[in-house]
């Protein structure tokens, strides 16, 4: 009896730790996202406050923007065909692995493997899209 109660207590404590860890791991941090952006994206994109293209299209207002809808003449055929809205879910998939989500994209970037960095980056793009 006692053994079972202790076991249940341990399971409960562990599950609460996992919930707490999840919460910690997935709290979005736009300030960290800006750092990630400056480290990994600015070789090809201006920061999202800039309404102009660089190697890649401007990311001005990219959150909730339709894919391949900025006046940028170099979109790939693959990106033009994509036909979606850039939101939490689509940016998450794209930034994880551009080439897997959009085979043939001209964004020659392997992707961001750390989930927390992707989330922070998306928070930053979102905060700069209003």
Q: At what angle do helices 115-127 and 30-40 cross, to 10 degrees?
A: 100
Q: Which is nearer to ligand HEC, 105 or 128 (CB)?
A: 105
* Token pair for 81: 């065909």
Segment (H or E) for 24: helix 2-25
Tokens of 21: 């860890």
Question: Considering the rule CB under 6 A, would residue 119 count as an interface residue with ligand HEC?
Answer: no
- Binding range to ligand HEC, per CB under 6 A, among 2-10, 14-22, 27-35, 38-46: 38-46
Asked if 124 interacts with ligand HEC (CB under 6 A), we say no
What string of DSSP letters covers 25-71?
Answer: HT---HHHHHHHHHHHTTTTS--TT--S-SSSPP-TT-TTPBTT-SS
- Binding marks (x or -) toward ligand HEC, 68..107, rule CB under 6 A? x-x----xx-xx------x--------x---------xxx
- The residue (of 40 and 97) whose beta carbon lies closer to ligand HEC is 40
According to DSSP, residue 65 is labeled: P
**What are residue 66's DSSP bridge partners?**
85
| Binding positions for ligand HEC, rule: CB under 6 A | 40-41, 43-45, 55-57, 59, 62, 67-68, 70, 75-76, 78-79, 86, 95, 105-109, 112, 121
């Amino acid at each position: 009896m006692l053994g079972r109660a202790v076991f249940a207590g341990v399971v409960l404590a562990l599950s609460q730790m996992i919930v707490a860890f999840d919460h910690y791991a997935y709290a979005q941090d736009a300030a960290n996202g800006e750092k990630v952006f400056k480290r990994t994206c600015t070789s090809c994109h201006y920061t999202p406050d800039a309404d102009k293209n660089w190697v890649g299209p401007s990311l001005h207002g990219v959150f909730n923007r339709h894919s391949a809808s900025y006046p940028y003449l170099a979109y790939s055929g693959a990106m033009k065909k994509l036909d979606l809205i850039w939101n939490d879910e689509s940016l998450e998939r794209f930034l994880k692995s551009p080439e897997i989500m959009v085979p043939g994209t001209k964004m020659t970037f392997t992707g961001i493997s750390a989930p927390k960095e992707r989330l922070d980056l998306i928070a930053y793009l979102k905060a700069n899209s209003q």
